[in-house]
């Protein structure tokens, strides 16, 4: 198909011409770079041609959408069948306030809920704990008990709405509360659909809202896998997250590599616990970031699908096609948003939305323009949701599957990201897997070095961030930002006081004692947690029992 001698001669002639032309251009425009790279350090050529993809195996690596290795998408029809789930991440202050925001978003055309929890909830403390002071309801909704969860979803039919919950260390407790709320609505667990993040390894790597040491944390995760496979079959039991890895400063290649390495660790843990890979793997899902380098992001999503399919088939001998499909949620890049000229963030989010859709995401959250300053207002949230809707209904990019397939640049970059990610995964394998690599500080160190390099490029002006280090303007303090009422903490404390006074405390103690005994053995803990939740044991009380049995994780110092 390709005449190598002729192509080599053409390339040499072209390169000679390019060198002369570029030298002239740079002499007139010194601000332009002689060398271009993606955020992952992949050198970008001036022009891509057929020879750049001559080595690709189209039969294996591309195939068709809905076919192994799923480079082009996990469904044959993709968005021609139905659009991605438009799922705006929301939650602040009290359950009452957040319930109003959810209903507003559903009225505006959102097709799925995504719950943000406050920091005390994320680390398993009740709102009246001393460590919760000043943090209640700030970055998400405060959930202390089943009572709060009932209010949060009041008037929202859980058999008709898919819900994602960004919760990790206490994921089993929040899932138990969700199941109990559904039961009170008359909705059986078999009808529930949604996702819990439940990804503890990335907490040790990048985010920090961990509670328990690695071994009991992995036990809780595999307990959820096992329980949901039997009783909540439509539920995605984990969302293996590269989002926070990227937010911490990783490159696109590192985001793929470290996320899939975590995924390998979870699959290994589940198999070790006696689960069949094809029993739980179809309910694994992933969560990725979408940044501004549009074509690198598209290639990243395609490479991640191909890598995961090969890992599941070749390493874990998965037989079911759904076990090999990498299904993922995307959130636009929070770390890319600037406090300077916040309206510019609308444009950034639009580019990132386009990248996620062109890359074949299954659901999407679009950040709001004011999130570098505060929690988003209703107006900002509406613009963010409208961004998704305009891309879906007006842009035309959802009319065909994998519209950038065959692009010399995108195909070459997809393969380059796959290759570089494999190198990282192989190195982590040599260390004994993701958990061992985390213990050694390897993954954290790699992310820190990438974040430092990126920041230095901005400070030196080598990387332009519009409105921040170039094209600045004089700005006044922004107005109309959303502020959480500081009295939320006191309100939650009063709720807890009333709850403890009104519940059957003898039954609460009985359920907590049963949980303590089960945690000390090797039983699946989900039935015990659900029972405690139904008796209105609080999140802090349940996590307190598990802290007592499991202990707490201590982060190692990276030198």
Q: What is the domain partition of the chain in residue ranges?
A: 58-426, 488-550
Lookup: tokens for 479:
């107005």
CA angle at 404 for the pair 402 and 408, rounded to the nearest 5°: 135
Lookup: tokens for 345:
């963030």
pLDDT of 140-185, one tens digit each? 999 999 999 999 999 999 999 999 999 999 999 999 999 999 999 9
Residue in the structure block whose two tokens are 């444009």:
347
pLDDT of 423-470, one tens digit each? 999 999 999 999 999 999 999 999 999 999 999 999 999 999 999 999
CA angle at 126 for the pair 125 and 127, rounded to the nearest 5°: 120
How far is the C-alpha of 70 from the C-alpha of 48, rounded, in Å?
24
pLDDT of 92-134, one tens digit each? 999 999 999 999 999 999 988 999 999 999 999 999 999 999 9
The torsion angles phi and psi of 365, rounded to 5 degrees, stand at -115, 130
Contacts 24+ apart (CB under 8 A), 523-531: 524/223, 524/226, 524/227, 525/172, 525/219, 525/220, 525/223, 526/172, 526/175, 526/176, 526/223, 526/224, 526/226, 526/227, 527/227, 529/172, 529/173, 529/176, 530/176, 530/179, 530/180
- Provide the 8-state DSSP code for 482: B
pLDDT confidence bin for 39, thresholds 50/70/90: confident
| pTM above threshold 0.95 | no
| Start-to-end C-alpha separation, the chain | 53
Domain 58-426 superfamily per CATH = Methylmalonyl-CoA mutase (3.20.20.240)
pLDDT confidence bin for 535, thresholds 50/70/90: very high
Asked if residue 213 has pLDDT above 60, the reply is yes
pLDDT of 269-322, one tens digit each? 999 999 999 999 999 999 999 999 999 999 999 999 999 999 999 999 999 999
pLDDT value at residue 327: 97
pLDDT value at residue 317: 98
């Amino acid at each position: 198909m390709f005449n190598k001698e002729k192509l080599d001669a053409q390339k040499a002639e072209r390169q000679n011409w390019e060198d002369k032309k570029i030298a002239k251009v740079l002499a007139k425009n010194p601000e332009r770079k002689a060398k271009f790279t993606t955020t992952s350090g992949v050198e970008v050529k001036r022009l891509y041609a057929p020879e750049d993809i001559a080595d690709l195996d189209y039969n294996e690596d591309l195939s068709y959408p809905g076919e192994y290795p799923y480079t082009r998408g996990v469904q044959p029809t993709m968005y021609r069948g139905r659009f991605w789930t438009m799922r705006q991440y929301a939650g602040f202050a009290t359950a009452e306030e957040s319930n109003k925001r959810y209903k507003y978003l559903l009225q505006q055309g959102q097709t799925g809920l995504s719950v943000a929890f406050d920091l005390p909830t994320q680390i398993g403390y009740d709102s009246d704990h001393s460590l919760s002071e000043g943090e209640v309801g700030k970055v998400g909704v405060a959930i202390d008990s089943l009572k709060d969860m009932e209010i949060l979803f009041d008037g929202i039919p859980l058999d008709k709405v898919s819900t994602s919950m960004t919760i990790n260390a206490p994921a089993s407790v929040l899932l138990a509360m969700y199941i109990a709320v559904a039961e009170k609505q008359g909705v059986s667990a078999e009808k529930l659909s949604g996702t819990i993040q439940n990804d503890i390894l990335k907490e040790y790597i990048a985010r920090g809202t961990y509670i328990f040491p690695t071994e009991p944390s992995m036990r809780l995760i595999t307990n959820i896998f096992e329980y949901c496979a039997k009783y909540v079959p439509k539920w995605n039991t984990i969302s293996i997250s590269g989002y926070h890895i990227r937010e911490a400063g990783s490159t696109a290649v590192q985001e793929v590599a470290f996320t899939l390495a975590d995924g390998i660790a979870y699959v290994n843990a589940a198999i070790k616990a006696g689960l069949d890979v094809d029993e739980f793997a179809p309910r694994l899902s992933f969560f990725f970031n979408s940044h501004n380098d549009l074509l690198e992001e598209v290639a990243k999503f395609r490479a991640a699908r191909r890598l995961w399919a090969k890992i599941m088939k070749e390493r874990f001998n998965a037989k079911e096609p759904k076990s090999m499909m990498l299904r993922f949620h995307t959130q636009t890049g929070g770390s890319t948003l600037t406090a300077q000229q916040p309206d510019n963030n609308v444009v950034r989010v639009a580019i990132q939305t386009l990248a996620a859709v062109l890359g074949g995401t299954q659901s999407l959250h679009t950040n709001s323009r004011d999130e570098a300053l505060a929690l988003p207002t209703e107006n900002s949230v509406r613009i963010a949701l409208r961004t998704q809707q305009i891309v879906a209904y007006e842009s035309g990019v959802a009319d065909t599957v994998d519209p950038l397939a065959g692009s010399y640049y995108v195909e070459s970059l997809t393969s380059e990201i796959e290759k570089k990610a494999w190198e990282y995964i192989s190195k982590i394998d040599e260390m004994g897997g993701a958990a061992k690599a985390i213990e050694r500080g390897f993954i954290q160190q790699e992310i820190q070095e990438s974040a430092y390099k990126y920041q230095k490029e901005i400070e030196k002006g080598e990387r332009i961030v519009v409105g921040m280090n170039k094209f600045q303007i004089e700005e006044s303090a922004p107005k109309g930002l959303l502020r959480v009422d500081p009295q939320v903490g006191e309100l939650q404390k009063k709720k807890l006081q009333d709850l403890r006074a009104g519940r059957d405390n003898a039954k609460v103690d009985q359920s907590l004692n049963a949980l303590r005994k089960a945690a000390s053995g090797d039983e699946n803990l989900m039935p015990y947690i659900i029972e405690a939740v139904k008796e209105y044991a609080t999140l802090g009380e349940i996590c307190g029992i598990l802290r007592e049995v499991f202990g707490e994780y201590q982060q190692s110092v990276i030198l």
